[in-house]
Structure 1
Amino acid sequence: MIIKKHKQEIDGLLLVDKPLGYSSNQALSKIKWFYNPKKVGHTGTLDPLATGLLPICLGEATKFSSYLFDADKTYEAKIKLGYTSSTGDAEGTLQSWNIENFPDKDIVEKALREFEGAIEQTPPMYSALKHEGKALYQYAREGIEIPRKKRTVSILSIKVIELKNDELHLEINCSKGTYIRTLAEDLGKKLMVGGYLIGLRRTKIGAHSIDNAVSLESIEESSEDDRIKLLKPIDHFLNEFESLALTKDEEASIKDGKVVYKEGATEGIYRLYNEDTRFIGLAEGDAAGNLKVKRLMSI
């Protein structure tokens, strides 16, 4: 007889270091098993061949997950030069460009400068992007090519960590929606040697670093009490926004959906705290100092 555990009221942010070979949903399933929360979701897919930072929101934190999803990301990417891949990564069929002499660091850095700023990318066929409710990679596996529109993304910075003959190691800081495997392919074409992605690690999302992440293994080995201690407060990942303290009357008005005037407020998003210094949600201010609720905690 299987006894179902009751779902737990658990709220917070968990920074997970996703291991190689796991899909983001497989990692999420592990967290569901460890914590048994009523609500849970991750904030940005990593391919099974990628490792690194995967923020997971539990409970009330799921209400604010879009702010992490929309944040800039930093990756370390390893690119193999001299070949192209049918999938853009190490899982595909390789085609050699028969290159004998590979570009030096100066040539690579000059090419990289052309990728900085706003660039256009065509989403790869081997991606989770949906077409008529079906992921593109599913069409690709059936040998079907779907026309894709180019999309504009932003490369905030891109630099060489190491270059060893035909292997290039880069650090890339970019906007959401950037396909690193497409960047690797486009760079290979620019260098006229071909290239495909052989390794990818996400090291940062917004202000959150992989240095503060925990492995699935360490979570599994922790006691229930210690697992709870691994969770970060919900407002922890919203600290890019200024904070405002509300009076009891202001708190009541905000919770009723009313517009509240707050001296010192201006245009922008604010973290709201009550008189007990408890985080209660986010509001958007206008130039006149009026606050309108965006998202509220239920607890």
Structure 2
Amino acid sequence: MARRRRGLPIDGVLLLDKPKGMSSNYALQRARRLFQAQKAGHTGTLDPMATGLLPVLFGEATKFSQHLLEADKVYRTRVELGTSTDTGDAEGEVIACRPVPALEESDVASMVAGFIGEQDQLPPMYSALKHQGRKLYELAREGKSVERASRRIKVYDARLLCVSLAGESPCFDLEVRVSKGTYVRVLAEDMARALGCEGHISQLRRLKSGPFDASGMQDFEALEALPDQAALEAQLMPVDCLLGHLAAHRLSESGAKAMRYGQIARGELAPEMPGTADRALIRLYHGETFVGLGGVESSGDVVPRRLLSSFVAGSGQT
């Protein structure tokens, strides 16, 4: 007999403003306890030092996390020049120092512009990537280093916000929009080396992830001040907000019945339906209710791909 999951069957997306000094997993578990949710997950780890947008998915929303994991991200960061650390950020131990050459703001701006576009990036040892079943940061803490394959990443945009080259702590602030899998710490190190010195980040804040931006974020202080469970759940966005980039289709009654039984909905679509192509994914609705994802066939058939448990549970209906 399956073990019954504790908590409430809550479904939705919370745009959490993760505080500094808290791991993404700790923030996730704190949010799950606060909402008393049966199931929760997050989409894209933020380092403990980092702050900002951490989408937390509850219940059925966890089924669609991959769509946000693959999304572009926007970050704001401060790059400190002159020293590099073993972690690539201000929480690590200094491992190298190199004097900052005489630079003008225009030199920094030109360098930043040169990083826009596709490039190879070597993931850092202090990361959650795994090697033979162990996370790289675990190996790094033991003083070990292993070979890592470079990744192809893309910097879509990089905007220099301010530059401070005078005094003992030369630095610059930067806002970047990057593809999935990009490590801003590594990008900052590479930028510093392009200027002829070492570098690390001292601040990092995620401002956007896919369709979500900072305007909808909630912090723990505000959430914990809410009066009751209903007020908490009112802060959640619906599950299908993760899938707004996909075309939508309202199922016919016969199509909905087929889907509930895991069968193909024959002739459900006109082949020329806008926004779809053979093998494309589409959002499916029964009436006004989101029920999951289907795959489009060139014949106009729709194949069930990822359906909500609440919808499938209605297979006994007629």
Could you state the TM-score of these two structures normalised by the residue count of structure 1? 0.93
- Displacement of 1:99 in angstroms is 2.5
Cα deviation code 1:222-259 (max 9, x no counterpart): 12111010111111221111211111111112332315
Query: Separation in 2 of the partners of 1:178 and 1:149?
Result: 13
Partner residue, 1:161: 161
Give runs of aligned pairs for residues 271-282 of structure 1, distance below 5 A. 271-274=283-286, 276-282=287-293
Partner residue, 2:315: none
Partner residue, 1:294: 305
Cα deviation code 1:93-146 (max 9, x no counterpart): 223312252x32322222223322221111111111111111111111111111
In 2 relative to 1, CA 251–203 (structure 1 residues): closer, same or farther, beyond 3 Å? same
Q: 2:264–2:301: 8 Å Cα contact kept in structure 1? A: no
Greater shift, 82-91 or 177-186, is seen at 82-91
Query: Separation in 1 of the partners of 2:32 and 2:281?
Result: 31
Cα deviation code 1:185-226 (max 9, x no counterpart): 011111112211111000001110111010011111112111
Query: Separation in 2 of the partners of 1:219 and 1:136?
Result: 34
Cα deviation code 1:35-58 (max 9, x no counterpart): 121211111100100000000110
* Aligned amino acid, residue 139 of structure 1: L
| Secondary structure class of the residue paired with 2:15 | strand
Q: 1:13–1:234: 8 Å Cα contact kept in structure 2? A: yes
RMSD between aligned alpha carbons?
1.6
2:295 paired with 1:284: yes
Partner residue, 1:258: 264
Query: Separation in 2 of the partners of 1:208 and 1:91?
Result: 28
* Aligned amino acid, residue 233 of structure 2: I
How high is the sequence identity, in percent, across the aligned residues? 37
Partner residue, 1:119: 119
- Displacement of 1:161 in angstroms is 1.2
2:211 paired with 1:210: no
* Aligned amino acid, residue 27 of structure 2: A
Partner residue, 1:241: 246
Cα deviation code 1:249-292 (max 9, x no counterpart): 11112332315330143313211111x21111112224443322
Query: Separation in 1 of the partners of 2:186 and 2:209?
Result: 20
* Aligned amino acid, residue 57 of structure 1: L
Structure 1: state its 5+ residue gaps: none
| Secondary structure class of the residue paired with 1:29 | helix
* Aligned amino acid, residue 293 of structure 1: P
- Displacement of 1:6 in angstroms is 4.3
* Aligned amino acid, residue 88 of structure 1: G
Q: 2:101–2:196: 8 Å Cα contact kept in structure 1? A: no
Cα deviation code 1:66-100 (max 9, x no counterpart): 11111111101110012222221112222331225
Query: Separation in 2 of the partners of 1:87 and 1:28?
Result: 23
| Secondary structure class of the residue paired with 1:187 | helix
Give runs of aligned pairs for residues 24-173 of structure 1, distance below 5 A. 24-94=24-94, 95-99=96-100, 101=102, 103-165=103-165, 166-173=170-177
Query: Separation in 2 of the partners of 1:144 and 1:37?
Result: 38
Cα deviation code 1:5-64 (max 9, x no counterpart): 941111111110000000001101111211121211111100100000000110111111
* Aligned amino acid, residue 294 of structure 1: R
Partner residue, 1:196: 200
Query: Separation in 2 of the partners of 1:57 and 1:283?
Result: 21
* Aligned amino acid, residue 17 of structure 2: D
* Aligned amino acid, residue 191 of structure 1: L
Structure 2: state its 5+ residue gaps: 311-318
Cα deviation code 1:141-178 (max 9, x no counterpart): 11111111111111111111111112111111111110
2:190 paired with 1:186: yes
Query: Separation in 2 of the partners of 1:27 and 1:47?
Result: 11
Q: 1:157–1:173: 8 Å Cα contact kept in structure 2? A: yes
In 2 relative to 1, CA 20–290 (structure 1 residues): closer, same or farther, beyond 3 Å? same
| Secondary structure class of the residue paired with 2:161 | strand
Q: 1:254–1:260: 8 Å Cα contact kept in structure 2? A: no
Partner residue, 1:177: 181
